[in-house]
Amino acid sequence: MEDARNLIDEYKGLENEQVFDALSKKRTGLEIAIENVEHDFNIGSIVRTANSFNVSKVHIIGKKKYNRRGAMCTDKYLEIVHHPNIEDFLETQNDRELIAIENNTPRAIPLSTKKLKKNTTLIFGSEGNGISNELLEKAKEVLYIESFGSTRSVNVGVAAGIAMYEYVRQNIF
């Protein structure tokens, strides 16, 4: 029987746990944190992209439910941790560099100017409210993705994909 899951050939025919274990042996040092995201399809999209870039862990701060359909079952292949609040999340980040991706603050500098360290956690917020001030204050740096058209920002799921790619480009290639 043909394996219809959206997997690269290397993982076709393996049980979900076997895929998870195989990916765990070569995960990147990147972690992703998602806070204040109102549209749960965006969370699923970020989870799917995090799987594509083989991140170590995805942290969801606050709301626990999200549209798993947007994740296309990729949530089975990486570690997702729910944190009821910011304090709980920060307790897991002691040795990590926290980088917020946020365009609505004077503190933000272009993503293209920052060398991302291997033990980085990228933080994303909602398109409307962004990342909370409490969490922004804890971030070592705030980065924004440069825009070359008339809109000042991209969808949070797209922003996460761009930032994850930049991390991988700098640390893996």
Total domains present in the chain = 1
pTM recorded for the entire structure: 0.93
Cα gap 51→1, rounded to integer Å: 25
> Does residue 3 lie within any of the structural domains?
no
Please indicate, yes or no, if residue 6 is contained in any of the structural domains. no
Q: What CA–CA distance (Å, rounded) separates 13 from 141?
A: 42
- Is 166 within a domain? yes
pLDDT at 72: 62
Phi first, then psi: give them for residue 27, nearest 5 degrees.
-65, 155
pLDDT at residue number 66: 60
Domain of residue 164 covers: 28-171
pLDDT value of residue 139: 97
- pLDDT tens by residue, 149-160: 998 888 999 999
Q: Which residue type, as a one-letter code, is found at position 128?
A: G
Please state, in angstroms and rounded to a whole number, the distance separating the CA atoms of residues 168 and 87.
28
**Rounded mean pLDDT, 78-82:** 93
Give 47 or 63, the one with higher predicted confidence. 47
| pLDDT of 143 over the 90 cut | yes
Q: Which two tokens stand for residue 129?
A: 């409210």
Tell me if 90 is assigned to some domain. Answer: yes
Quote the CA–CA distance of 18 and 160 in Å, as a whole number.
27
Instruction: Residue 127: give its domain's CATH number.
Output: 3.40.1280.10
Whether residue 115 lies inside any domain: the answer is: yes
Quick check: 125 pLDDT over 80?
yes
Q: What is the mean pLDDT of the chain?
A: 91
CB 58 within 8 A of CB 80: yes
Let me know if residue 111 belongs to a domain.
yes
CB 121 within 8 A of CB 59: yes
Q: Residue 134 pLDDT > 70, yes or no?
A: yes
Interval 6-22: pLDDT, tens: 899 999 999 999 999 99
Starting at the earlier edge strand, list the strands of the sheet with 79-83: 79-83, 57-61, 31-35, 120-124, 97-101, 141-144, 109-110
pLDDT at 67 over 60: no
